[in-house]
Structure 1
Amino acid sequence: MTTELAQVKVRRKGVWAAAITLGVLALAVLVVPPIVQLDQQLVDLRSAGLAPSLAHPLGTDEMGRDVLLRSLYGLRVSFMVGLVAALVSMVIGGLIGLAAGSLGGLPDRLLMRVVDGFSALPHLLLGIFIVAMFAPSPYAVIVSVGVTHWTTAARIVRSEVLSLRERPFVEAAVSGGASRARVVRRHLLPHLAPHLLLATVLMVPHAIWHETALSFLGLGLPPHLASLGNMINDGQRSLLSGDWWSSFAPGLFILVPTLAVSVLTQHWRDRLNPRTRSELSL
């Protein structure tokens, strides 16, 4: 009993630490860029490659730009792109899963075969193929992530719909003459909303990693924009001269918030329904 209580306390401390970390980062991302305007094209070679100091807490890159400020700008862009891309993928997957679970029969089988086909494709390679058809921009990354990451949402929604269809209140509504649209609107969607919201939050870190990978490969955001992937790519050249902070800082800004989101969503998922642990693993 004492061991279980200790584990609960440790988990609570981890949740609070993750919440505080994410809150501080969110506040910094929302407040700092509007106050400190960053000229994306500015080059100051006199300040190039400076080590971390009070003036530049995370040093400067090979162009003399402050790494901390650029990392905050990059994290802001990554969060915005990741959130919108996650919403797009949830809308696509949610509609397909809802249609499959509600219609059943042949439409269900056909739609799930489409889901299986998309799941069999490598997400990153398919994403590279999609962004290669557009000029580097946030919109191309959003389309890439939205089109390649909707399959898990479709499976989650379909599974929940099939479970809800067997509930007494749904059967009573159908027996009472309620139309399919009314059943979906009044009975299915309110129960699906928490699961979809959780799946959307879980998708955001994956969307950020996807955007970072594409930008690192030079296919995501334009090279002059502050992006975590672009910064890591640029920092590779600085590593040869010993400027480790140029790559370390953006990597840290990717790792810390995604771990914080993972801890919080794990706690949320367990409180929502422990049985969905495997279903919501993205």
Structure 2
Amino acid sequence: MTAPAPSSSAPTGPTGPARPPADWHTPADGGRPGRTRARTLRTRGSAALVAVTVLAVVLVPPLFPLDQQAVDLAAKLRPPSPDHPFGTDEMGRDLLLRCVYGLRVSLLVGVVAALVATVVGIAVGGLAGALGGRVDRLVMRIVDVFAAVPHLLLGIFIVAMFRPGVWPVIASVGLTHWLSTARIVRAEVHSLRTRPFVDAAISGGASRRRVAVRHLLPGVLPQAGLAAVLMVPHAIWHESALSFLGLGIPAHQASLGTMVESARGTLLAGAWWPALWPGLFIVVPTLAVAGLAGAWRERINPRRRSELML
């Protein structure tokens, strides 16, 4: 007599299928717990850097007020030391304090410009997606025309119409970076318009405004918020580039871009620290914000998350 063939079905317990072991991972985890742990550590590290950055720009200025005009030529270009952990610049000013003050200005520009671009993008993309037809085609052709012009070139044109300052830079960045948000919002609105709950609201007699406010806007906010967070690092880099070119923040005001620009001459004198620290203050916080935005993207888009884990 032959032995019965082994069953291919999952083992069953007294009340149904047996539960998988504790260390078993679903296909969504890709069977790679190491990658999941690395992603978790990366997210926590990014969150810690963002928290430290926010605390620094909030607490340091009141505790250590900085006179933007004060100079000490007797202490110029001193290397890092216990008295000046980051050293001093060509005017004898403490680089640690100036980097924190410059980061505060750059973050202000980045956050406010991202909010401006997000509001404009939601308005333009929502209008195109909700109305559709000729309005949609006309709006998207206008978006394509703006997208054909380099952001930096258009930003230089906007800043050149005003005096150098924080708010002209914010206007320059905000009015040149809404295009991607508009496209994202338009695509999301097109997707939401085909959902059953939107059809039910329209069939129930809801006005177009009510459908847009109650059903379409909440659906696009997560994607628009993600686009805004991703825009903050880009806006900081944009502000730094404009300030480096002498078109952004005034030279006498602490800004990461102006600090890098003024440090070009010190490199020839062998002083590396005036250029190093502002550069790091530009790179590290922007990478931290980008890391948090990536974690948010995986959370609100499970399909993309599964693709990344495979």
* Aligned partner (choices 2, 8, 27) of residue 55 of structure 2: 27
Counterpart residue type for residue 246 of structure 1 = P
1:193 positional shift: 1.5
> Which structure is larger by alpha-carbon Rg, 1 or 2?
2
SS of 2:214's equivalent? helix
Q: Distance in 1 between matches of 2:214 and 2:239?
A: 36
* Aligned partner (choices 105, 108, 111) of residue 136 of structure 2: 108
Q: Distance in 2 between matches of 1:205 and 1:159?
A: 24
* Aligned partner (choices 257, 269, 273) of residue 229 of structure 1: 257
Identity %: 60
Q: 1:140 to 1:118 in 2, by over 3 A?
A: same
Moved over 4 A (4+): 274-277
**Superposed, which structure 2 residues align to 1:86-165 within 5 Å?**
86-165=114-193
Q: 1:3 to 1:170 in 2, by over 3 A?
A: closer
Q: Which sections of structure 2, spanning at least 5 residues, go unmatched?
A: 1-24, 306-310
1:196 positional shift: 1.4
* Aligned partner (choices 169, 180, 198) of residue 170 of structure 1: 198
Indicate the residue corresponding to 2:308 in structure 1: none
Q: Distance in 2 between matches of 1:215 and 1:185?
A: 39
Compute the TM-score of the two structures, normalised by the length of structure 2: 0.87
Indicate the residue corresponding to 2:226 in structure 1: 198
The answer to whether the aligner puts 1:74 opposite 2:141 as a matched pair is: no
Residues 62-81 of structure 1: CA distance to partner in whole angstroms, max 9, x if unpaired?
00001110000000000011
Q: Distance in 2 between matches of 1:124 and 1:50?
A: 35
Q: Distance in 2 between matches of 1:222 and 1:46?
A: 24
Q: Distance in 2 between matches of 1:214 and 1:113?
A: 28
Q: Distance in 1 between matches of 2:103 and 2:192?
A: 39
Residues 52-96 of structure 1: CA distance to partner in whole angstroms, max 9, x if unpaired?
011111100000001110000000000011111111111111100
Q: Distance in 2 between matches of 1:274 and 1:245?
A: 44
Q: Which has the higher helix share?
A: 1
The answer to whether the aligner puts 1:64 opposite 2:92 as a matched pair is: yes
The answer to whether the aligner puts 1:48 opposite 2:76 as a matched pair is: yes
Compute the TM-score of the two structures, normalised by the length of structure 1: 0.96
* Aligned partner (choices 206, 214, 227) of residue 186 of structure 1: 214
1:274 positional shift: 4.4
Q: Distance in 2 between matches of 1:247 and 1:200?
A: 29
1:268 positional shift: 0.6
Q: Which sections of structure 1, spanning at least 5 residues, go unmatched?
A: 278-282
Aligned residue pairs, count = 277
* Aligned partner (choices 25, 45, 49) of residue 17 of structure 1: 45
Counterpart residue type for residue 251 of structure 1 = G
Taking only aligned residues, the RMSD between alpha carbons, in angstroms, comes to: 1.3
Counterpart residue type for residue 298 of structure 2 = D
Counterpart residue type for residue 104 of structure 2 = R
Counterpart residue type for residue 125 of structure 2 = G
**Superposed, which structure 2 residues align to 1:208-227 within 5 Å?**
208-227=236-255
